[in-house]
Structures are given as C-alpha cells and as structure tokens.
Amino acid sequence: MIKIIIADDHPVVRKGLKQILSEETDVELVKEARNDSEVLNLLHAHDWDAVVLDITMPGRGGLELLTELKRLRPKLPVLVLTVHPEDQYAVRALKEGASGYMNKESAPEELVQAIRKIIRGGKYVSAALAEKLASMIGAEAQPHENLSIREYQVMLLIASGKTVSEIAEEMSLSIKTISTYRTRILEKMEMTNNVELARYAMKHNLIQ
C-alpha cells in the first residue's frame, strides 16, 4: 500500500490532490504539509513511498527542502508539482534529486501516472523537457547554472522586476541578506546591474 506526503502551502491545492490520490485503491495514507517543518516532522512518522512537492513554500523554499529530503532519505522519490514553467526550475530540481517535474495544470490521471512511475524507480518528465535534458549532455554550463539554489531564486525575482525589499519580504529574509545575494549573483554572472540580469533571464526563457 502506498503512503504519500503532499507538500504545498495552498490548502485548496492540498485538499484537491489528497482527494485525487485517496480515490486510488492502493493508496493507504496521504498526509498534508504546508511548510518545510511539517514535511520534516512527517518524514520521521512513517516509511513514505513518495513526496509531492511544490517549489514556492514558506520557510525554506521547495528546492532547498528537496535537497534536505534527499540528504535524509536518498531513495525517497520526490515529484515536483508547481506552477513554474519547466524552463525556470525543472533542470535544477532534477539535479537536486527530484524524480519528476510536473505543472499543476496537468490532468489528475497524469499525476497518478507520474507518482506510480517514480515509485517504481523511474523518472517523470515531459517530452519537451526530456529533449532539453538530452541536448544538455556534454554542453558547457550556462552562467545561471553555477548559482546556488537561493541565489538562483533571488536572481529570478530580481529579473522579474522586484526590488530588494520586496524580495526580502517574500523570502522572509533581511534586506541586507538579499543585497548580499544580489552582489554575489552579479559577480558570478559577470554582470553589473539588474537590467543585464533581466535581459539574460528573458533570453534564456527563465522569466516570461
């Protein structure tokens, strides 16, 4: 019988996913978590078969939580289910150990199919993402791929036009900390200002 954790900060999403999964006859237990602390508390309560994880969550973001989950339970399959386009986070999520990446607009039956596949040890990605991953083999890393998880998140927010103070509030960090991240990002990307970051992000389809 299958045991699954749903990690998402939106109650409606959690309830909907739980209902979909609970209708499967071999799903024994579905537990909800709204932040990183709740996920980690649940982690030690049972032997789970899979985690369905959103990227945008309070506290540690989903990618940082993914890294921690894989450190604590290396063999536990994690399916990232998010509103973010594949170009933004999919490759990084898979590098951090995710077993699959799906958009929340996917059909319910596709979600069930994806979970069953990763539980069996497979990977679940779209055809477009699989093609992108294949094209990356042997290719030189792009500058943004050398950023840490937190730096990458801050870079996307800067590129989308948000101010340092807005990013600090959104990520529950100090303005000083975000400013430090911005300095590091510009150094690593060999850029001098936010406009260059925005142009780069648009060119590489990292923001819409």
Whether the model pTM is above 0.75: yes
Mean pLDDT by 10 residues, the chain (208 residues): 94 94 93 93 93 86 91 96 86 92 89 94 87 73 87 92 92 92 94 94 85
Looking at residue 58, its pLDDT comes to 73
Assign domain 143-203 one CATH number from 3.40.47.10, 1.10.3720.10, 3.10.180.10, 1.10.10.10. Answer: 1.10.10.10
Looking at residue 170, its pLDDT comes to 85
Neighbours of 103 (CB within 10 A): 15
- In angstroms, the CA 125 to CA 119 distance is 14
Phi, psi of 199 (to 5 degrees): -60, -45
User: Where do the H-state alpha helices sit in the chain?
Assistant: 11-22, 36-43, 62-72, 86-95, 108-119, 127-136, 149-159, 164-171, 175-189, 194-203
The answer to whether residues 94 and 126 touch, using CB atoms and an 8 Å cutoff, is no
Tokens of 186: 């510009």
Q: Could you report how far apart the first and last alpha carbons of the chain are, in Å? A: 41
Looking at residue 138, its pLDDT comes to 64
- In angstroms, the CA 16 to CA 39 distance is 18
Question: Would you list the domain boundaries of the chain?
Answer: 2-136, 143-203
Looking at residue 160, its pLDDT comes to 92
**CATH of the domain spanning 2-136:** 3.40.50.2300
Name the one residue in this structure whose structure tokens are 């309830």.
15
Looking at residue 25, its pLDDT comes to 92
Tokens of 5: 């954790």
Name the one residue in this structure whose structure tokens are 């506290």.
59
Looking at residue 127, its pLDDT comes to 80
